[in-house]
Amino acid sequence: MAWAFTVAILFSVVAVAAASLSIPLHPDSGTFVSTVGNNGTTMFLPLFFNNHNHHRHKDDFYPRRHLQNGSTPNARMPLHDDLLLNGYYTTRLWIGTPPQRFALIVDTGSTVTYVPCSTCEQCGKHQDPKFQPELSSTYQPVKCNIECACDNNREQCIYERQYAEMSSSSGVLGEDIVSFGNQSDLKPQRAVFGCETMETGDLYSQHADGIMGLGRGDLSIVDQLVNKGVISDSFSLCYGGMDLGGGAMVLGGISPPADMVFARSDPVRSPYYNIELRELHVAGKKLPLDPKVFDGKHGTVLDSGTTYAYLPELAFGAFKEAIFKELQSLKRIQGPDPNYNDICFSGAGSDSSQLSQAFPSVEMVFSDEQKLLLSPENYLFRHSKVRGAYCLGIFQNGKDPTTLLGGIIVRNTLVTYDREHEKIGFWKTNCSELWERLHLPTATPPLPSGTGQMNSTMNRTPTLTPTLAPTLAPNLAPIQPPPPKAPGLWAFGL
C-alpha cells in the first residue's frame, strides 16, 4: 500500500523546525458551531481528496449544515481528495507575488510547510509547477543565524526531514507572502516555508506538491499565524466519509457545539497531538485492557497525515478478537493486496450506509469518561476487488507501544485542535456537505502587491481570497455578530 498509507515517524530533523510524526502505512437541529477568532480572524480552508491508491465507500448523509457569516473577516479553505485512495487530503495555498498555487497535504504530524523549488533537480513531477522564487517580488531567503542549521556557505537556513518509510525532504528556508485563496477574508501573510532542493521516496512520487505542516513548532503555519495575532491558537479539520471525499479546514478558534466530545491533549507529554485514551468498547463491551496500554511511548497520537489506525500489540489482539466474535455471520476473505495480511469480510452488502447492521459500533473512552462513537466507516475500508466486502482499517503498530489514530478514525467528524486550552474536540457531522455550505464561486486570489496576475498552476486542491466578502448559504440571513471578544463569527447548524 502506497506511501499514503505509511506512518512516518520523523527520526532526523535539521533546522528550526520541530519534530514530525507521520507514519506511512499500508445532532441535533438546534446545534451550532461558530468560529471565534479570539486573537484575530478565523480561516476556513477546503480539503480536497485524491483518487489514487486504495479503497473507498459510501456513507449516510447527515442533515445539511449551513454556514452563516457575521460582519467580521474570515478565511476558510476546502479540503480535496479522499483518504483511502491517495491516503491524504490536500488544500491549496498560494505563495509569492504574483501568487503561485500549490496543492499541499494537510499534516498535523509535520511542523514545516514545504514546496518544490525551481532549482530542485531531484524533485518529482507533481500536480503544479515548482515554486519560482526568482519570479516573486516579495521572496526573501532566511539568512543563516544562530537559531537554524545553515548551508555549507553559511548564508541561508536549511531544513531536512527524514521519515521511517525512507522518504525525505530537504531544502532551504525562505519567507514570502502566503495567500489563502478566494474564499478567505484573512489578508495574505508573510510566512517562512521550505523550498525543496531534494525529495526521495514517496515524497518524490506523490501527486501532491508538498506538505502543510500543522504540528507544534515555530515553523508550523499555525504557530506563525498565531504569533502574528491574526488567528487564535486553534484549528479544525473535517474529513469526508467513505464514498464522499472533501471536507473543510478552519484555521482559528471555533465555539464548539454543546455535544462536542473533548479529550485532553498535553503538549508536555508529547510533541505530537496526543489524547488521553483510556478504554475501547466493541458492541458496548469494554475490552479487558489496562489503560496504560494506550500510554506507551508517545501515548495516543492523532495524526491527520496517517491513513489508518495503529494499536499496540496487546490492544490490537483484544480488538481483533472482539470484532471476530461479533462477525460470525460474515465470511472471512483474503485482502485486496496479497502482500498484506488484511482482515476482510464479505457478505455485508454494498450499501455503506447500512454497515452498522452488519458491523458493531466501537467506542473510544477518554480520561474524563467522555465517549466518542465510531461507526463502521471509522474503522473499515472498502475491499477494492470484492463487491460488498470490507477490511479492518485498524492494525497492529508492530512492536511500537504508541497508539496512532489516522484519518480513518475521524471520517465525518469535525476535529478541533484547541491548543490554547490543551484539548481536542470531536463532533460527528457530514464533512463533505459541510464544505458545500461554505462554498463560494472560484476566483483568483488577491495579489499582495495589488496588481499582477496569478501563475497558471491549476489542477486540484485549496484556494482563497481575503478581499471578498463571504457569500451566505442559500436562504440564510446573517447572524448577529458577537461581542468584540469574538471576531470572525461563522456558524453552521444542522
* Residue 207 within any structural domain of the chain: yes
**CA neighbor of 350 nearest in space, from 123, 10, 57:** 57
Please state, in angstroms and as integers, the Cα–Cα distance from residue 188 to each residue in 126, 268, 355, 381, 384, following that order.
25, 32, 44, 38, 42
* Residue 487 within any structural domain of the chain: no
* Residue 493 within any structural domain of the chain: no
Strand partners, 107: 213
| Alpha-carbon span 423 to 419, nearest angstrom | 6
List the CATH number of the domain containing 338. 2.40.70.10
What is the H or E stretch that residue 211 is in? strand 210-213
Strand partners, 275: 300
Q: What pLDDT does residue 333 have?
A: 97
DSSP SS3 for 395: strand
Active site residue 342: no
Tens-place pLDDT, residues 178-187? 998 877 777 8
Structural domains of the chain, count: 1
| Alpha-carbon span 246 to 237, nearest angstrom | 11
| Alpha-carbon span 153 to 13, nearest angstrom | 20
Tens-place pLDDT, residues 271-329? 999 999 999 999 999 999 999 999 999 999 999 988 999 999 999 999 999 999 999 99
Q: What is the DSSP string of 166-200?
A: S-EEEEEEEEEEEE--TTB-SPPEEEEEEEEEEEE
| Alpha-carbon span 286 to 215, nearest angstrom | 32
Domain that holds residue 18: 3-26+35-468
Please state, in angstroms and as integers, the Cα–Cα distance from residue 321 to each residue in 48, 74, 315, 326, 335, following that order.
35, 47, 10, 9, 18
Catalytic residue among 81, 82, 107, 233: 107
Q: What pLDDT does residue 465 have?
A: 23
Q: What pLDDT does residue 422 have?
A: 97
Catalytic residue among 81, 303, 342, 400: 303
Strand partners, 213: 107
Q: What is the DSSP string of 278-312?
A: EEEEETTEE-S--GGGGGSTT-EEE-TT--SEEE-
**CA neighbor of 42 nearest in space, from 326, 255, 220:** 255
**CA neighbor of 492 nearest in space, from 167, 166, 201, 69:** 69
Q: For residue 57, which amino acid is it?
A: H
Q: Which three cell numbers stand for residue 7?
A: 506512518
- Please report where in the chains the cell 544562530 appears, as a residue: 146
Please state the pTM of the whole predicted model. Answer: 0.78
* Residue 476 within any structural domain of the chain: no
Tens-place pLDDT, residues 218-249? 999 999 999 999 998 999 999 988 877 789 99
Q: Furthest-apart CA pair in the chain: how many Å?
A: 67
* Residue 473 within any structural domain of the chain: no
Active site residue 218: no
Ranges under pLDDT 50 in the chain: 1-39, 51-74, 439-494
Prior bond of 98 cis (ω within 30°): yes
* Residue 494 within any structural domain of the chain: no
What is the H or E stretch that residue 481 is in? none
* Residue 479 within any structural domain of the chain: no
Q: For residue 56, which amino acid is it?
A: R
* Residue 163 within any structural domain of the chain: yes
